[in-house]
Chain A
Amino acid sequence: MATVESVHASSDLGLRPPIQIVPLRALPVSALVVAFVALSIGENWRWGLIFCHVAGGGMWTAVDLFVGLIVGPILGRLSVPARAEFASRFMPKMVVLMPTIVLMTLATGFQIAGALGNLTVGSPNHAWLIASFIVVGVMAVIALGILEPANIAVLMEMNKPRPNGERIGRLMRRFVYTAGVTGLMQVATLVIMTRVASR
């Protein structure tokens, strides 16, 4: 069955126009965001720091939970060509979006924590911040070491004249396996951040 599906997937995937793996039009926007983050840190611009952290963190959590818990299961029930069509348009956007919002959130978050004194050992939020570092560390290893390489490998495979549907399916299984951990980490982030903000 898997072989039949692979053959169908290959022939269906082979008909599409080449995918632009990194959407070049999005890069200036990403560069602007990075410049804004650098300016906010360099100038100790409190509004800029909080804006980047809240907006970036909100998007990061929302995208992870929405994709992992809502889009992912729906995608899993679609036909292989439909999945391929969706992935070819969705995944290139994630290649630029996710690193940008992660950088935006983490770089400014550390600065805000320092400015508010939450990093000092005596702060009641210190333990919560260490917990958030651990949560972010787990998410970073999953996102950077497992998901992003798979994302790009899927797009490269889909760009071949005759893509291997079975291989694409195997690479995309990584998203399913890690969705639970990522979802749990994002819920933990929500708990930690709301605890920190309410003290």
Chain B
Amino acid sequence: MTGPVESERPMPPVGWLATAALGCVIVGGILIASYAPRPAPLAVPTTLTVVAYALMVTSLVLLSRIADFAWSTFVRLFRWALLAYAVMSGMIEFAFIHDHTRGTTLTEVTLMLVIFALSVPTTIAFTSARYADA
């Protein structure tokens, strides 16, 4: 049996921070979408995007500091998940461009989609790699 002694060591909240970042961009996205087809006021979505980037960067910094981490497992999962979520983000971006979203709103949406495409693969890869052998 793989005992809890070594693999259950405490880990920084990488997954939860990335998920919180995802939550921020989803709320921001809902705010922008709720104004469509009119341009949305961007103060709150921008604040949420900034918070999301702060959470994501914190998550990645904490991740980079973990000693004896299963990086090969993390990278393998992250790469494939990133491919899948980049396709999804691309589809959402395409839909917004198709609906004539332009300028600052499009930039805002793009920045949110970058977080979307990074946060889910980070959480997926971290949740599995934390239990893998380094």
A69 to chain B minimum Cβ distance, whole angstroms, is 25
Q: Is A191 an interface residue (CB 8 A)?
A: no
Q: Determine the main DSSP class of B at the interface with A.
A: helix
Contact of A137 among B3, B27, B87, B91 (CB under 8 A): B27
Size category of the B interface is: 35 or more
Q: Are B1 and A6 in contact (CB under 8 A)?
A: yes
- Residues of the A chain whose Cβ atoms lie less than 8 Å from the Cβ of B127: 149-150, 152-153, 171
Q: Are B2 and A162 in contact (CB under 8 A)?
A: yes
Task: Report the bound CA distance from A160 to B120 in whole Å.
Answer: 23
- Residues of the B chain whose Cβ atoms lie less than 8 Å from the Cβ of A38: 91, 94
Q: Determine the main DSSP class of A at the interface with B.
A: helix
A95 to chain B minimum Cβ distance, whole angstroms, is 9
Q: Are B128 and A148 in contact (CB under 8 A)?
A: no
Which residues of chain A have a CB within 8 Å of any CB of chain B? 6-7, 10, 22, 34, 37-38, 41-42, 99, 103, 107, 110-111, 114, 119-121, 129-130, 133-134, 137, 140-141, 144-146, 148-150, 152-153, 156-157, 160, 162-167, 171
A-B pairs with beta carbons under 8 Å apart, 14 shown: A38-B94, A99-B88, A141-B19, A141-B26, A145-B19, A145-B119, A145-B123, A148-B120, A149-B126, A153-B127, A166-B4, A167-B2, A167-B131, A171-B127
